[in-house]
Amino acid sequence: MSLRRLVVCLLVALAAPSAAFADDLRIIGDSIGEGVHLATNLPSPANRFNVAIYTPFIFKQLSEMPRGATVFMSLGTNDAVGGAAALGVHDRVEQIVAAAEAQGVKLYWLGPPCVLKPWEIYSKKLDEMLAAQLAGGSATYVSLQDPSFCERSLHAPDGVHFTMAGYARMWQIAASAAGIPVVVAVASEHKTVRHVGKPPSGKKNTNKIIHHLRRPGVAKPATPSKPAPK
């Protein structure tokens, strides 16, 4: 095994929660949550397929959580990318928290992290809104607007997603908020987390860097590459 691969393996192993908590922890949400899942190997239905506050998919994920579980939910980045018009989420946030309560889970809401995009101003604004709305309620809000997440070294090339070191850092903050003992290695390896989950039926898993799907009307970040000639 190469030194590079060994460092990555150590990072993932050390970022994982202790065995005593493993059966009770779950991760849900968007592709940021999927990255945290890959850094911890905790059970997770989190995926990149347009999971946002404004879409219904998070309710399906919550319904799959076992009663009594501690659930870490990454949600908000796909809303912030929509700009100011997408920040009217107060009522939907209340519905999500109510669904978590009805499911009998303890919810830790991981907000939108710092992104290296012009719409970071909306990520920061949504972070502030969620922190204020969730304060003192049954769900615990975990802000990921820490300046460390604005460092390019922790980001994937798209400026939205993160390296394995970045996702491990997120888990360290989330676990600390939940009082879960965890040790995260400080690695020099900045490997980009790739999508490895099963895509919806009929879609091909291209194993490319995870990209958020945009709200209709919002410009896509890049034009897909042309398929190889047959």
For 184-227, write each residue's pLDDT tens digit: 333 323 333 333 333 334 444 332 223 333 333 333 333 344 44
Q: For residues 179 and 174, what is the distance between their CA atoms, to the nearest angstrom?
A: 9
Of the two residues 74 and 13, the one the predictor is more confident about is 74
Answer with the residue of higher pLDDT: 130 or 16.
130
Q: Calculate mean pLDDT across residues 149-154.
A: 95
Q: Residue 183's pLDDT band (boundaries 50, 70, 90)?
A: low
Q: Quick check: is 228 in a domain?
A: no
Q: Is 63 within the bounds of a domain?
A: yes
**46 belongs to a structural domain:** yes
Query: Does a structural domain hold residue 183?
Result: no
167 part of a folded domain: yes
Q: Rounded mean pLDDT of 28-49?
A: 92
Q: Is 87 a domain residue?
A: yes
Give the rounded percent of residues in the chain with a pLDDT score beyond 90.
64
Helices 120-134, 90-103: inter-axial angle, 10-degree rounding: 50
pLDDT at position 62 over 90: yes
Please state, in angstroms and rounded to a whole number, the distance separating the CA atoms of residues 24 and 30: 20
Give residue 50's region: left, alpha or beta (phi > 0; psi -120 to 50).
Answer: left
DSSP E strand boundaries for the chain: 25-29, 70-74, 106-110, 140-142
* CA torsion through residues 47, 53, 57, 59, sign: positive
At position 174, the amino acid (one-letter code) is A
C-alpha 15: how far from chain center: 15
Q: How many residues does the chain have?
A: 230
CA dihedral sign of residues 30, 78, 95, 168: positive
Whether residue 128 is predicted with pLDDT greater than 90 in this model: the reply is yes
Residue 60: give its domain's CATH number.
3.40.50.1110
Distance CA 45, CA 103 (A): 16
| Residue 164 domain flag | yes
- Residues of the domain holding 64: 3-178
3 state DSSP class of 87? coil
Q: Which of these, 182, 184, 175, lies nearest to 70 by C-alpha position?
A: 175
Asked if 100 contacts 138 with a C-beta cutoff of 8 angstroms, the reply is: yes
142-146 average pLDDT score: 96
Q: Which residue, 181, 188, 209, 192, is CA-closest to 15?
A: 181
Domain assignment of residue 195, yes or no? no
Number of compact structural domains in the chain: 1
